[in-house]
C-alpha cells in the first residue's frame, strides 16, 4: 500500500532483509494465493499487484510488483482513510498525516496546491508593484497579466489570488503562509552546536533566493589564487550548484505543511539545503540524477521559468551535479528525512577541477612551445 501511494516498488518474499540471502518459500503457489488475498482484503481502494514466482537455484522466491496508483490514497481497511494511509520514505513505511493525505488526493486529481484559489481574499491582496519589478527585465506587466499568469483566478464570479500568487507576491503572505521563509545559518565545525552567523530571509521568494545565495557566498569564500596579473577568488562551494539547490528548494517546497521553514545550513565541510515536502509522488531518489523531474508547484515553476530562474524542466539537478564534478567535488547527496527533502553539497575536493575550453587552449599553446 505504501508503494502504491508513492513511487511503486517490488516486494520480494523469501529473501532476507539485511543479508539478501535467498531462503525461498516452501510452497510458492500457496504463498502467492495468500498474498493476493491479503492485498485484496485489507487495502482500500483495492490494489491489484503483479505476482511472479522466481526460480533461484534449488528453491523459489516471489516478487510482488506494485505500480504507482491513480486511485491514491490507499489505506488499511481496518484503520480507515484518516489513520490508515502509509507512504514510502526511503526504505521505511510512514503513516501519512492530514496534510500528506490531502496532497495525495490533489495529486490523484491532477491539481497543484499552489493553483488553488484563496476565496477569502481579493485581487488587491497581491502586490502588483512587486510583481512588476520582478518582471521588469523581461516584460512590462499589466494587471490583466495577473490572470494570464494564474496569479489571480476566477472563483464564484470574483477575482481572487491563487495560493501561488500569494506565496510569490502577497502583501500579507506571512499571515497565510507563516513558514514560507528561509532560515540560514553558518555553524562552526560539522554540527549545529555552535552558530557563528544567522539570518532570517522573509522577503518575497524571488528576492529571497538572491539573499540566500548572497549569504552562502559570504561564508563560502575559501581563499584566493594569486596569479602574475590578478587575484582570482576560489570558492569551496560552486556558485551554480548553490543557486540550483536554493531555487529547487523554493520551487519544490510543500507550502501546505506547517511547522518549519526552508533551512540553509553551512558547516565547515558541507552545505545543507532543506525544504518541507517529500519528492513528488511517483519520483524516487534514483530518478533525480537521470534528469527525471516532476514539479510540485506548477504555478511557481511557470513564474520562475518566465523570470529565468528555471531554464529547462528537469535540468537543475544535472546542472548541480555537473558543477560539483567540475569543481572536483563529490556529487550532491539527496535525502528524504521524515517529511522533508535535503540536498547536501560537500566542500572537500576529491579530484582536480575540470578545465574549461579556454584553460585547455592555453595548456595546448604552452605544450606547443
Three-class secondary structure of residue 114 per DSSP:
helix
Q: In 10 A of CB 325, how many CB atoms?
A: 17
* 3-47 confidence digits (pLDDT tens): 999 989 999 999 998 899 999 999 999 999 999 999 999 999 999
Q: Rounded distance, CA 3 to CA 63, Å?
A: 14
Query: Which is it for strands 43-44 and 50-56: parallel, antiparallel or unpaired?
Result: unpaired
* 198-251 confidence digits (pLDDT tens): 999 999 999 999 999 999 999 986 544 555 555 555 678 999 999 999 999 999
Q: Rounded distance, CA 246 to CA 264, Å?
A: 8
pLDDT reported for residue 154:
94
Per-residue pLDDT tens, the chain, 369 aa: give them.
999 999 899 999 999 988 999 999 999 999 999 999 999 999 999 998 899 999 999 999 999 999 999 899 999 999 999 999 999 987 889 999 898 899 999 988 888 899 999 999 998 999 999 999 999 999 999 999 999 999 999 999 999 999 999 999 999 999 999 999 999 999 999 999 999 999 999 999 999 999 999 999 999 865 445 555 555 556 789 999 999 999 999 999 999 988 889 999 999 999 999 999 988 888 888 888 887 878 889 999 999 999 999 876 667 888 899 999 988 999 999 999 888 999 999 998 887 777 778 888 888 888 877
The three grid cell numbers given for residue 309, joined into one nine-digit string: 530562474
The three grid cell numbers given for residue 120, joined into one nine-digit string: 477569502
pLDDT reported for residue 230:
55
Nearest Cα to Cα of residue 74 among 116, 23, 108, 123: 108
pLDDT reported for residue 312:
63
Number of H helices, E strands in the chain: 13, 17
- The 3-state DSSP composition of the chain as helix, strand, coil percent (nearest 5) reads 35, 25, 40
- Give the mean pLDDT of the chain: 90
Nearest Cα to Cα of residue 158 among 121, 128, 115: 121
Three-class secondary structure of residue 174 per DSSP:
helix
pLDDT reported for residue 222:
55
Q: Rounded distance, CA 250 to CA 265, Å?
A: 15
**pTM across the whole model:** 0.81
The three grid cell numbers given for residue 133, joined into one nine-digit string: 519589478
Torsion of CA 219, 225, 229, 230, to 10 degrees: 0
Nearest Cα to Cα of residue 44 among 77, 15, 19, 18: 77
The residue assigned the cell 493525505 is: 101
Per DSSP, the residues of 118-140 read -TTS-GGGB-HHHHHHHHTTT--
Query: Which is it for strands 182-187 and 262-266: parallel, antiparallel or unpaired?
Result: parallel
Q: In 10 A of CB 230, how many CB atoms?
A: 7
Q: Is 318 left (phi over 0), alpha (psi -120 to 50) or beta?
A: alpha
pLDDT reported for residue 27:
93
Amino acid at each position: 500500500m505504501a508503494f502504491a501511494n508513492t513511487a511503486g516498488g517490488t516486494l520480494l518474499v523469501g529473501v532476507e532483509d539485511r543479508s539478501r540471502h535467498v531462503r525461498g518459500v516452501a510452497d510458492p503457489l500457496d504463498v502467492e494465493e495468500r498474498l493476493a488475498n491479503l492485498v485484496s482484503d485489507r487495502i482500500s481502494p483495492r490494489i491489484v499487484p503483479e505476482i511472479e514466482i522466481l526460480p533461484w537455484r534449488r528453491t523459489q522466491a516471489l516478487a510482488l510488483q506494485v505500480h504507482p496508483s491513480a486511485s491514491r490514497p490507499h489505506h488499511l481497511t481496518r484503520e480507515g482513510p484518516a489513520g490508515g494511509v502509509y507512504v514510502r520514505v526511503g526504505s521505511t513505511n510512514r503513516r501519512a498525516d492530514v496534510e500528506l493525505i490531502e496532497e495525495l488526493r490533489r495529486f490523484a486529481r491532477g491539481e497543484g496546491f499552489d493553483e488553488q484559489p484563496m476565496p477569502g481574499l481579493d485581487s488587491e491582496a497581491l502586490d502588483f508593484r512587486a510583481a512588476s519589478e520582478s518582471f521588469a527585465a523581461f516584460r512590462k506587466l499589466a494587471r490583466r497579466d495577473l490572470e494570464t499568469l494564474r496569479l489571480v483566478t476566477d472563483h464564484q464570479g470574483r477575482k481572487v489570488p491563487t495560493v501561488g500568487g500569494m506565496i510569490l507576491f502577497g502583501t500579507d503572505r506571512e499571515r497565510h503562509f507563516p513558514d514560507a521563509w528561509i532560515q540560514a545559518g553558518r555553524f562552526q565545525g560539522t554540527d549545529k552546536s555552535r552558530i557563528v552567523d544567522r539570518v532570517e530571509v522573509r522577503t518575497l521568494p524571488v528576492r529571497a533566493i538572491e539573499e540566500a545565495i548572497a549569504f552562502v557566498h559570504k561564508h563560502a569564500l575559501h581563499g584566493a589564487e594569486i596569479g602574475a596579473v590578478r587575484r582570482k577568488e576560489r570558492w569551496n562551494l560552486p556558485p551554480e550548484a548553490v543557486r540550483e539547490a536554493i531555487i529547487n528548494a523554493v520551487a519544490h517546497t510543500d507550502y501546505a505543511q506547517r511547522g518549519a521553514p526552508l533551512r540553509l545550513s553551512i558547516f565547515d565541510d558541507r552545505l545543507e539545503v532543506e525544504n518541507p515536502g517529500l519528492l513528488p509522488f511517483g519520483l524516487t531518489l534514483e530518478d533525480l540524477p537521470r534528469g527525471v523531474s516532476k514539479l510540485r508547484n506548477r504555478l511557481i515553476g511557470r513564474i520562475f521559468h518566465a523570470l529565468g530562474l528555471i531554464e529547462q524542466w528537469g535540468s537543475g539537478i544535472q546542472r548541480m551535479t555537473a558543477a560539483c564534478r567540475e569543481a572536483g567535488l563529490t556529487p550532491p547527496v539527496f535525502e528524504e528525512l521524515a517529511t522533508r527533502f535535503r540536498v547536501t553539497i560537500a566542500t572537500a575536493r576529491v579530484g582536480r577541477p575540470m578545465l574549461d575550453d579556454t584553460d585547455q587552449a592555453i595548456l595546448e599553446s604552452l605544450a606547443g612551445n
